[in-house]
Structure 1
Amino acid sequence: MTTRIFSNRLSIIGLIFVIIVIISGFTRIALLAGTPSSGVALGQVTGSFLIGLLYDLSVGIFIIIPFVLHLWLQNDLIYKRKIFPFVCLFFVVALGGLLFTSIIPKDFSPELYRAVIYYIGFRFLVYLFLFSRTPAFRLKWRTGVLYIGMTIVTFLLLFNAVAEWFFWQEFSTRYNFIAVDYLVYTTEVIGNITESYPLMPILTGLFILAVLLVVVLRRLIRNSAVLPLSFAKRSVISVGMLLLPLLVYFTVPEKWRHFSRNEYANSLAGNGLFEFANAFTQNELDFYSFYTILPDDEAFRIVHNQLQTPNSRFVKNDLYSIERDISYNEPERKLNVVLISVESFSADFMQAFGSTKNITPYLDSLAAHSLLFTNLYASGTRTVRGLEALSLSIPPTPGQSIVKRPDNGHLFSLGSVLRSHGYTTQYLYGGYSYFDNMKTFFSGNGYTVIDRSAIPAAQVHYQNIWGVADEDLFTLALRVLDSNSLFRKPFFAHIMTVSNHRPFTYPEGRIDISPEKQIREGAVKYTDYAINRFLKEASARRWFDSTVFVIVADHCAGSAGSVELPVTGYHIPMLIFAPKILQPQQVNTLTAQIDIAPTILGLLKLRYRSKFFGYDVLNMPADRQRAFISTYQGLGYLRNGKLVIQSPVKNIKEYQPDFITGNAKQITLNDSLAREAIADYQCTSWLLRHGRQSE
């Protein structure tokens, strides 16, 4: 039977599965041996290897896909002279379509665009070369391709095994969202690895080992190139194999590895590559596993003390609930609200924060007529994190934003509060709202989602891969807001701009910086122009005088620095403009992005039941000032000029940040401040995990 398996056209497929199972098995042995205090019993070890075998085979089913396609489709028919013109025509049409159309938009990813063109061009040259050679030469060529392919796959499997071992030594678990996060900070991670380990000797050794394995197995690999198998039989077998990935995707869940109470055993049962892929879809990092925690009772007591304010009252005798009634002495004001979240808008773009570039002339002038918040900090470094903070008013949890996680509907949000008070709630986006899961998130939380698909092509002045120009988005917004006003009910519209984003392109003739330069300063100034135009046109509408306009960044243009969480990389501006309603004022209170929703509701004097972690900063006790800043795994708590940072695994440090340079000096950890920091993040994670943040 073994002879039959490895003595046919598809023998390389079986060989790949054997290599995967052997390498994965030895990886588990190495991980177990490297954790002498794991407490894994013999029965749990057996369970880990048996369940792990299932995940190993599941991963193998995806790895074999290119080999199945290669063996199935290789055919000398395409080298017949009668077929030659049609094959050449196919390549010419493919290259022409890429060069002269926008199948892959150049401004989205120039690297991807060039790579696809180079690949197709290379394949065309290879085809022309092989067409001129004999069938015997082509057979040698295909055999060589299989040797190279097997060498690459074997090297990558060995490399992954070593990488898993290092990851396990650091975090005592399989790949998780931390590993995914490493892809975001590639430069920093590679630098850290090269400084920590002898990377080149390791890679060289793994490559030599991969080559030796392929040399030893070369006869079995060659069988897949030379042994005959009819195209009909290859088709039946190949189609069956290509359907297996779908079967695995829909029937093999990650939770099967959680078969015991010993987390080491559960982790051993997994497969690193499977867990890595799963981390992309789950998008979260368990706070209780990777961060310092307090007893839940203590954490919630701290949070209760923080959230108790003169105008709030807890409504349940339940320590694990943060529900409280918010009230004001003044009468409610059912004003319209337009929240404009500006893409990548750092505080230092504006004159009020020291800029001398004159790239926000309108907003600079508007600041003198608005509530200008000078001490506001973004929750994170991505749009989805900003949208989370603005909508849900919760501290950022480790991993990806709630916006991109599964099961993120029917949450308590700014929209749900306003909707309960009779508001129309809408989310307007200049791109296609499927991007970053925006449509699923906002529609699942009661917003009507309106995106670029609502704009007729004839009304679009400019667009790039991210969406229409901001002026076209605001034209759409005016049309929507005019329509809202006809229904004689208040409206809340959250508008998300897109123009201040690489490639920094916009319509010609709008500002004094040519879009051909494709520089950040031009995109910022164009967005400033578009907001100016929008508010000028809005000022002629009847609904303008009863509308509060909130202009705030989703995050800064950049957050890189020499320290883990440079405070300057999170400093953003906010203007609240309502000339017939609000007196201009500069607000210097330390403000978190999660405070914006309660502050808006405070301006409206609405009475509501809250699950927000944020404060109405205009009615907040002075001793409650704090802010939250984060990356995917670094969780910062900013208070009284100090910064506490939590990170995996269970690290917590305190810093004295420099609010001018962004640098920070580590200082002795203040226990009381550390407990506050832990409590906020821990309680947020607990409430989300237990479904207690639903509306």
Structure 2
Amino acid sequence: MISSKMKPFLYLGALYLIISLLVRVVFFFHPITTVSFGFFEILKILIIGAINDSFVFILTCPFLALYFLFLSDSKYQKPYGQIILGALVLFFLYILLIPNNIFKQYGGSVAEIALAFIGVKIIFFALMFFLPERRLKIRNTLYFITLFLYILLIVFNAVSEYFFYNEFGLRYNFIAVDYLIYTNEVIGNIMESYPVVPLFLAIFTITVLISVFIYRKTKMELLDFPNIKQKLMLLGAFFVLIGISLFGLSLTTKIKGNSVFEGEIQANGLPKFYWAFTHNELDYFQFYPTINQKTAENNFLNQYPEPVLKRNITSDQPELKKNVVLISIESLSADFMEHYGNTQKITPFLDSLADHSLMFTNLYATGNRTVRGLEALTLCIPPTAGESIIKRENNKNKFTTGSVFKSKGYDVKFLYGGYSYFDNMRDFFAGNGYGIVDRDNFKPEEITFANVWGVADEDMAKKAIQTMNAEAKSGKPFFNHWMTVSNHRPFTYPDGKIDIPGDVKSREGGVKYTDYSLRKFFEMAKKQDWYKNTVFVVIADHCASSAGDTELPMDKYKIPAMIFSEGFIQPQKFTQTMSQIDVMPTLFGLLNFNYQSKFLGQDIFKKGFQPKAYIATYQDLGFVKDNYLTIISPLRKVKQYALTQQKNKLSPEFNIYYDEKQLKTPDQNKKLIEETISAYQSTSYWLEKNQLNR
């Protein structure tokens, strides 16, 4: 009896293992997987992967086990049937009529979901109670629906993992958690990026076919039911298996591969999603290598002429109260530009602007998300473990670029074509004194094209000009930070603007349309009275992709950046290694600002500037200096790579890092390891102690 009741679990388990294996095989051959594996490596990945999948499936089984546990005919007999049905009705009325019931206290849609669930339960229980002759047919229908939902989740998760890997070269991580939270933008993005109707029809068809097969093989198990003793034995067996699975996953998830891709392919996405969901912040001092705090701070602050956290920045020249427009461009990798060797001619305007600008040719983004780029340009500090500060609760009253401008009498605003609640941008910028101009400020007639991420960049350019004209009339200088949106999947934009149709949905089209919109912005700006007294900072927020052979592939963090101002900024190229966090302190230096600084970036033109860069994911923290890349990771791991510098064949004046050779412990540069720890430990400590607030 007990063994026969396991048939549904065995069929579903086999299905899950087969689908997971197929996904793993697809990942092996996916173009984004840029490493090759030997026979024994493949065997190891498949074995560990199958073990991970088995444990994960067991952990999802209790829901199905509970379904079978409550299958019974006796509960429909009098008086039990009347009592249960009455209790369900009373429970339904409690949720419906009592204002402060337990479900409504959770907020959101919890009460509605509970009401719908209990309502459906009442309907089916009543049918089975009052129509005993149809009970088996109703039970079979419910069983089929249960199987269908289980199988749908298995298939849908496999498809989701594929598309996530296709985008990021990783299993689920923090980004997947964000996608679950911001459902409107994400669902809209999927709807606009992929052939959703055919895709969902295929998923639905496959799910139905598999459900019918398993249903026919297992429906006989509903003809009789185990007794109480047998049910308790089944339940006990599941508790044991769950314990084994939890313990097993705690071991197998620690097995890392020789490359990022090996570790990701052998992993299971669901434990990684759970880990990301519960670890949006990482306690640096718990997970990362540390040294004496005073030593760390002294090491870090020695890079500044005044080696203290709060430093006096002074200039012997008069301050220049020029307007400043900071444009951070969505996902603009350096290698999209002709200056860096691209031959597609998709950034003609930016390439021409670079020739008339101060261009930073060897600059690296701090992270691989928009919020990291905004953090770097606003707070000018190295990235920290876990989620960006923008997404954290303690994100207000920080020392920011905006606060420096406000202290000089500037009107300060953040401009964004989407709804700025996304990624917590509104909360962060408003909480740090910025005015907000976003999609909520657009009139319907001002929007010629929009997708799920916001209005087209061309529409935002017009709104930006309108905003700046209004600010200029006030007589105050202005600082506006504009974040573009069009160079983002689904890469849709109005037709007839560039030579790549908007319905092609290509990355190249997204880049070229953004470039077109920026050209339109500058054409409009040149006609304004405030133009000649304005400095424009144009920089990417991050690269288009961060997938690579190592934890932090250098070429996936290199971004273009330039400062342009007719008659003020002389065209030149700055070729030394620098970080995204150095851009705004450098701008303040060009404007001769006198201020007390807590920025951790440097003015690159000041004496004592040290060429370096900070690059990171949500857990791997990297430090680039002296042709070394040092990475510190959770569990106090340290890796170091020697960086080989080579000329870009298509653009020889631009140096690139192209090779990362991992060093064995005896060959590592211990001084740079201590510098890396000092930088990240100090930043984390100062943030924790609110010492980077205004």
Normalising by structure 1, what TM-score?
0.66
2:587 paired with 1:600: yes
Judged with a 3 Å threshold, the aligned counterparts in structure 2 of structure 1 residues 553 and 13 are, in CA distance, closer, same or farther, namely closer
How do 1:345-424 residues align onto structure 2 when only pairs under 5 Å count?
Answer: 345-424=332-411
Q: How far apart are 1:367 and its partner, in Å?
A: 1.1
* 2:143 corresponds to: none
1:284 to partner: Cα distance:
1.0
Contact between 1:104 and 1:113, CA under 8 Å: does it hold in 2?
no
- Are 1:191 and 2:191 matched, yes or no? no
Equivalent residue number for residue 589 of structure 1? 576
Instruction: From the superposition, tell whether residues 616 and 104 of structure 1 become closer, same or farther in structure 2 (CA, over 3 Å).
Output: closer
Shift of 1:14: 14
Distance 1:583 1:143 in 2: 84
Residue 309 of structure 2 aligns to a residue in which SS?
coil
Partner SS, residue 302 of structure 2: helix
Q: Percent identity?
A: 41
- State how far apart, in whole Å, the 1-side matches of 2:504 and 2:343 are: 20
1:432 aligns with 2:424: no
- Indicate the SS of the match to 1:411: coil
Work out which of the residue numbers 543, 555, 579 in structure 1 matches 2:542.
Answer: 555
Aligned partners of 1:580 and 1:358: how far apart in 2?
27
> Are residues 103 and 575 of structure 1, via their aligned partners in 2, closer, same or farther at CA, if it must alter by over 3 Å?
closer
651-660 or 489-498: bigger deviation:
651-660
The verdict on how the C-alpha distance between 1:13 and 1:634 changes in structure 2, with shifts beyond 3 A counting, is closer
Deviation at 1:640?
A: 1.2
**Partner-residue secondary structure (3-state), 1:502:** coil
Superposed, which structure 2 residues align to 1:54-453 within 5 Å?
71-72=121-122, 74=124, 105=188, 107-108=191-192, 110=194, 161-162=246-247, 164-166=249-251, 189-193=263-267, 280=277, 283-306=280-303, 308-309=304-305, 313=306, 322-453=309-440
Of 518, 538, 556, the residue aligned with 1:569 is: 556
Distance 1:426 1:675 in 2: 39
Shift of 1:192: 3.7
The 1:440–1:112 alpha-carbon spacing in structure 2 relative to 1, beyond 3 Å, is: farther
CA distance in structure 2 between the partners assigned to 1:401 and 1:528 by the alignment: 27
Quote the offset at 1:141 in angstroms. 10
**2: distance between equivalents of 1:344 and 1:103?**
17
| Correspondence for 1:636 among 602, 616, 622 | 622
Report the Cα distance in structure 1 between the residues aligned to 2:277 and 2:185, rounded to whole angstroms. Answer: 28
Determine if contact 1:13/1:67 at 8 Å carries over to the other structure: no
Q: Mark the CA change 1:579 to 1:456 in structure 2 (over 3 Å): closer, same or farther.
A: same
Q: For 1:299, what is the secondary structure of its paired residue?
A: helix
Closer, same or farther: CA 339–381 of 1 in aligned 2, 3 Å:
same
Q: In structure 2, how many angstroms separate the alpha carbons of the residues matched to 1:637 and 1:102?
A: 33
CA 1:109–1:520 in structure 2 vs 1: closer, same or farther (change >3 Å)? Answer: closer
The residue that corresponds to 2:643 in the other structure is: 657
2-structure distance, mates of 1:452, 1:468: 7
Task: Give the match's secondary structure for 2:487.
Answer: coil
Instruction: Give the aligned partner of residue 526 of structure 2.
Output: 539
Match of 2:668 in 1: 669
Residues in 1 aligned to 2:501 and 2:391: alpha-carbon distance in whole angstroms: 35
Q: Distance in 1 between matches of 2:197 and 2:241?
A: 25
- AA aligned to 2:328 is S
Describe the shift of the 1:123–1:164 C-alpha distance in structure 2 as closer, same or farther (beyond 3 A).
closer
Match of 1:488 among 475, 480, 488: 475
**Distance in 1 (alpha carbons) for counterparts of 2:628 and 2:680:** 17
Aligned equivalents of 2:617, 2:377: Cα separation in 1? 17
| Partners of 2:330 and 2:541 within 8 A in 1 | yes
Supply the distance in 2 between the matched residues of 1:102 and 1:593 (Cα, whole angstroms).
27
Quick one: structure 1 residues 190 and 305, their matched pair in 2 at CA, closer, same or farther if it must change by over 3 Å?
closer
* 2:563 matches 1:479: no
Equivalent residue, structure 1, for 2:496: 509
Shift of 1:449: 1.4
SS in 2 for 1:663: strand
Partner of 2:100: none
The one of 634, 637, 647 equivalent to 2:633 is 647
CA contact (8 A) 1:343 1:500 kept: yes
| Residue 120 of structure 1: how far off its partner (Å) | 9.0
Counterpart of 2:693, as a letter, is S
Q: CA deviation at 1:524?
A: 0.6
Shift of 1:417: 1.1
Q: Which amino acid aligns with 1:595?
A: D
Deviation digits for residues 339-360 of structure 1, max 9, x if unmatched?
Answer: 0000000111111111111111
What is the identity, as a one-letter code, of the residue corresponding to 1:286?
A: D
Partner of 1:621: 608
Aligned equivalents of 1:363 and 1:153: distance in 2?
A: 61
Tell me if the contact between 1:562 and 1:663 (Cα under 8 Å) persists in the aligned partners: no
CA distance 1:117–1:73, change in 2 (3 Å): farther
* Alignment CA distance shift 1:115-1:436 (3 Å): farther
On the 8 A contact 2:288/2:633 being kept in 1, the answer is yes
2:691 alignment partner in structure 1: 692
- Matched residue of 1:636: which SS? strand
Whole-Å separation in 1 of the counterparts to 2:206 and 2:578: 55
Query: 1-side partners of 2:254 and 2:297: how far apart?
Result: 33
Deviations along 1:309-358, whole A, 9 cap, x unmatched? 2xxx46xxxxxx61111111111011111000000001111111111111
- Counterpart contact for 1:424–1:491, Cα < 8 Å: yes
Deviates more, 1:282-291 or 1:471-480: 282-291
Change (3 A) 1:290 1:591: same
Q: 1:516 deviation in Å?
A: 2.2
**In structure 2, C-alpha distance between the alignment counterparts of 1:666 and 1:125, rounded to whole Å:** 49
Deviation at 1:165, TM superposition (A): 2.3
Asked if the contact 1:645–1:654 (Cα under 8 Å) also holds between the matched residues in 2, the reply is yes
Aligned partner of residue 427 in structure 2, secondary structure: helix
Q: Look up the SS of the partner of 1:107 in the other structure.
A: helix
Alignment match, 2:56? none
Q: Give SS of 1:617's match.
A: coil
Residue 388 of structure 2 aligns to which amino acid in structure 1? S
Q: How many residues get paired?
A: 514
Q: What CA distance in whole angstroms lies between the structure 1 residues aligned with 2:223 and 2:353?
A: 68
Rate the CA distance shift 1:118–1:674 in 2: closer, same or farther, 3 A: same
Query: Cα distance, 1:109 vs. partner?
Result: 6.4
Aligned to 1:85: none
Distance in structure 1 (CA, Å) of the matches to 2:539 and 2:236: 52
Contact 2:629–2:642 under 8 Å retained in 1? yes
- Amino acid of the residue matched to residue 358 of structure 1? K
Q: For each residue in 1:220-269, what CA deviation from the matched residue of structure 2 results, as whole angstroms up to 9, or x when unmatched? A: xxxxxxxxxxxxxxxxxxxxxxxxxxxxxxxxxxxxxxxxxxxxxxxxxx
Contact 2:495–2:502 (8 Å) recurs in 1? yes
Distance in 2 (CA, whole Å) between partners of 1:301 and 1:77 is: 75
The residue identity in structure 1 corresponding to 2:589 is: G
Segments of 5+ residues of structure 2 without an aligned counterpart are 1-61, 70-105, 132-183, 211-218, 646-655
What is the letter of the counterpart of residue 405 of structure 2? L
How far apart are 1:122 and its partner, in Å? Answer: 11
Asked whether the 8 Å contact 1:635–1:645 carries over to 2, the reply is yes
The question of whether the paired residues in 2 share the 8 Å contact of 1:508 and 1:514 is answered with yes
Say if 1:378 and 1:593, in contact at 8 Å, map to a contact too.
yes
Match runs of 1:514-533 below 5 Å:
514-533=501-520
